[in-house]
Structures are given as structure tokens and as C-alpha cells.
Amino acid sequence: MKKRFFPWRLFWNFFWSLWGLMSLLGLFCLYVASLRVPFDFWAAPTLSVIALITLSSLLVAAIMAYRFSIPLRRVILKALRMSNKQLYFQLSGTELDEETLFKSEPGEYFELEQALDQIRRKMKKRREQLAHEREESQAIMTSMEDGVFNISPEGNLVYFNSGFATHFLTRDQIQLQQEGRLALVQVLRDTEILNTVERALREGKGGTMIRRMMTLMNEHPRDFTVSVSPLRDPKTKEIYGALGLFHDVSPVKQAERIRMEFVENASHELRTPLTSVKGYLETFKEDFYAGRYDEAKVFLNVVTKNVDRLMALVNDLLTISTLENSAAGDFENIALDRLTSDVLDRLSGLASDKKVMLSYQIREVSALYGDIRRLEQVLENLIGNAIKYAHIGGRVEVIWEPSPAGSEISLTVKDYGPGISQEHQARIFERFYRVDKARSREVGGTGLGLAIVKHIVQSHGGTVGVRSHPGQGSEFWCLFPHRVNPYSSP
């Protein structure tokens, strides 16, 4: 059974001090009495009195020491409970619960107990506040996609969030950090970042930079805005560490690169026909002034062809701009049979020129809920491309059918042309991307048709892709949500 806690050291200090003081006081009283009434110290009666005084002082000292120690026992337990919970339970066991311990009771040290109770209440409130702040900070740091780290003056990682660990730390390095043995130079090899961190620790000067770095979760480099700030003690202003923030700006940089490529490609696509138009017009003008009209028809045909190409390019650019900036179009139930046959009729002349046979199949579906004008553009672009790149005398097939899961409608446009190599398939839906630039311009493409198809399909909540092998033709597929408006009829 656990012994009841008692402040013995305090008790013995009180006891010896009181017993010594009372013994000296008793002897002093005997000495004063001997000056007035002569008696023999070594006589039996005197020794008996001295022994009685000594025993009485021992008893009184013990009682008084105990009387002083008992109230202090409660004060000591309160102080221990606030300062060291583990030691408190080791000493007190379960003899006092917390509610009983901190219940105010009148006594010799009532004011002191009240002060301790007040300190405890403030500490409890502060602990709860700190716990909430810690939870909030931890939740914020964990949910942040940005990488955050804290480094000590010695260059070791003190803290990092999940974003930083995901990008830069292996499991072994995380284990080393938990043991306090992971330095920043073991994680990052970028000289500029390390120099900025060192300057923040040594001189208290932070810095911001944009760095392109490899990460553990990506095969390709990522762009980061890296900010480093020194950490200072609010009172002494001494630097006790540095804080680093990695903000992934790869999507922004990618958007900038796409925009720059778009402007560059659009300028190039516009400049090529304009240069041709200008050159032929200058030549035609010289021949006209000189009275030479033999080549006039050829020149005018070339100019007309390039003007048509410019108009097609501008129209496609306006279409993409409209798709990106406007809301969804006028959706209705569309009869797939009529939609497909109308588009094939419009493209029959192009197919006849190349002796390409067109066919379509509609399997187990009849209608699609969408914007008929936009879906016509999808079919015209996909079928038109298939005809342009098909071999002379080849064929193009259009198939509408349910997807294997049954929740979507699949559109497939098959050709039996030269096919597309794997390296181009991931980028073929980008603006102005061409597999064969010379052949694309030869057949009259603007480089925007598949980008328009992708935008339209995505605006309908669908996806688009391609399956192809060189020499075996290509299959362009689109998946549309299988939904029908009950208040509209095809």
C-alpha cells in the first residue's frame, strides 16, 4: 500500500530548530533562577528538572513542527501538481483527487493557497489556449501544399510540414530529423538557397528567390518561390533559427510558358500567310504596271488560298477565346443519327476529292444532351482531320456507342492513315502543336482544331483522347456524360 505523503524534511527542520531554541531558553531560565536562588546544578532534583525541561521541549517541538508541516503539505502538493504531474502522482498516489486538492480551505497559509489556485487557473487557461493554437497551427501546416521548414543555428532541421517532406524528404531522412541529426545540406543541394539560409542565421537578413528544382514526387523539375526569414527572440533580438517557405509556382510558370508559346505560335502562323500574300501582291503589282498578265491568275489563287487560311486561323482563335470565356451554350437533346449524317454530308466533297469512304454506326444510343452547334464542330474537326490525313482510297468510320461502364456515351472517329507516334500523343491536343508541320500546312490545318475539340468536350463534362500506332491509323475518342433532358425532344 502506497505511503501517505508527508514533508518529513520540512518537519525535521522545524523540529530541530524549535527543540534547540526551547532547550536554550530552558537553560537560560535555570541560569537566571540560579542567580536569585542558590542551588546545585548537579544535585538530583536539579538534574530531574533539566531532564523534564528537555523532554517537554522535545514533545512541544514535535507537536509544533507537525502543526506547521501539515498545512504546508497541502501547499507543497499543489505546487507539485502544477509543476510536475508525474512526481505528484508518485508522491501522493490517489489519496487526493484534483478537485479536493484545489478546494480552498481556511488555514495558516490560506492566502498562499489562494495565490497558488489563481496561478493554477491562469496556467490551465494558458495551456488550453496554447493547445488550441498548436492544433490550429498543426492543422494549417498539414493542410498547406507549400513546404515549410524551421532550422536551428547549427543548421539542423527542427521542424518541417508534410508539404516539405513530400517534396524533399525520404523516410530515412525523416527518421534522422526525429533523432535531431538531419542537417539542411543533407536535404537541399541548391547553393543559392543554402547561402541565403546561412546569411539569415549569421546576419539576420532574409531573402526570396525563384528556383527550379527536382522533387521526390515528380519526374520533371518544379518551380518554387523560396522565402527565407530569420527567427529572433522578441526580447533579446538574438537569432535562434530561420524559417523557410517553398511555394510551388509551377502551374503559374507553365501558364506563362503556354501563353508565350501561344503568342509566338500565333504570330508565326499569322506571319507565314501574310508574308506569302505580301510577296505575291508585290510581284503581281509589278507585273500589272508592266502590262504582264500571264501569271495573274496563279498569283491571285495563291493570295486567295492564304487569305482563306488567315480567315480560318482567326475564326479558330475566336472560337477558342469564346469557349474559354463564355458560359455553357444552349443544351438540348440531339438526335445522333441526324447530327452525324448532316456533318458527313458537308464533308462528302472533301472525302470525294481523296476517294475516302465515309461511314457511321450508332449502337444502342439515340440522343445526346448538348450544344448542337459545338458538337457539329467536334465532328467536323475530327472527321475533317481523318479525311485529310487518310490515304487516298481509304476510309473513315464514326461510331457512337455506350461506354463499357454504361454511364457515358462514346464517340470514336477511326482512320487508317499514317498514325501518330507515342511521343506526340500526349501533346496533340495543345494549341498549334503539329506532328508534321509541313504536312499540316499542306493540307490546310490551322493547328487549333484538336484544341477546339478538347475545349468543347470538356465544356460538356467529358474527356477526349487518342489511340494510335504508326502505320496503323488513329482512333480519336470522346466520352460524354449519358444524360438526357426529359423536357426536350431530339
109 and 148 fall within a common domain? no
C-alpha angle 64/66/67, rounded to 5°? 60
Task: Tell me if 61 sits within 8 A of 22, measured CB to CB.
Answer: yes
Q: Which of 305, 325, 345 is the last residue of a domain?
A: 325
pLDDT for residue 385 is more than 60: yes
Nearest Cα residue to 398 out of 419, 415, 385, 381: 415
Neighbours of 94 (CB within 10 A): 7
Residue 92 CA neighbour count, 13 Å, CB half:
22
Q: Please say if the pLDDT value at position 336 is more than 60.
A: yes
CA distance 479 to 490: 20
**pLDDT value for 1:** 38
What's this model's pTM, rounded to 2 decimal places?
0.53
For position 82, what pLDDT does the model report?
64
Q: Are 91 and 9 in contact (CB under 8 A)?
A: no
- Poorest-confidence range of 126-135, 244-253, 401-410, 481-490? 481-490
Full domain range(s) for residue 452: 332-481
pLDDT surpasses 60 at 488: no
Do 475 and 339 fall into the same domain? yes
Angle (CA) 314 318 320, round 5°: 115
| 297 and 341 share one domain | no
For residue 55, being part of any structural domain is answered with: yes
Report the pLDDT value the prediction gives residue 341, as an integer from 0 to 100: 93
β-strand partners of 208: 227
Q: Are 265 and 236 in contact (CB under 8 A)?
A: no
* Rounded percentage of the chain residues whose pLDDT exceeds 70: 83
Residue 472 in any domain: the answer is yes
Determine the pLDDT at residue 94.
45
Compute the mean pLDDT over every residue in the chain, rounded to the nearest whole number. 80
**Whether pLDDT at 86 is above 60:** no
CB atoms within 10 A of CB 101: 17
Please tell me the predicted confidence (pLDDT) of residue 217: 82
Tens of pLDDT, residue by residue over 134-170, are: 777 767 766 678 889 999 999 899 988 888 888 898 8
**Is residue 226's pLDDT more than 90?**
yes
- For residue 481, pLDDT beyond 80: yes
| Residues 231 and 282 occupy one common structural domain | no
Is residue 486 domain-resident?
A: no
The verdict on 112 and 29 lying in the same domain is yes
**Per-residue pLDDT at 32 exceeds 90:** no
Q: Are residues 355 and 452 in the same domain?
A: yes
Supply the pLDDT for residue 85.
53
Cβ atoms of 5 and 92 within 8 Å: the answer is yes
Among 294, 310, 325, residue at a domain's last position: 325
Q: The domain spanning residue 321 has which CATH number?
A: 1.10.287.130
Answer with the one of 271, 303, 325 that is the final residue of a domain: 325
Quickly list H helices, 235-353: 250-290, 296-325, 336-346, 348-353
- Percentage of the residues of the chain whose pLDDT score is greater than 90: 19
**Highest mean pLDDT of the ranges 26-40, 308-322, 337-351:** 337-351
pLDDT of residue 84: 54
Pair 102, 171 in one domain: no
- Average pLDDT score over residue span 106-128: 70
Q: What confidence category does residue 380 fall into, taking pLDDT thresholds of 50, 70 and 90?
A: very high
Number of domains in the chain: 4
Whether residue 159 contacts residue 151, with contact meaning beta carbons closer than 8 Å, is answered with no
Same domain for 188 and 205, yes or no, is yes
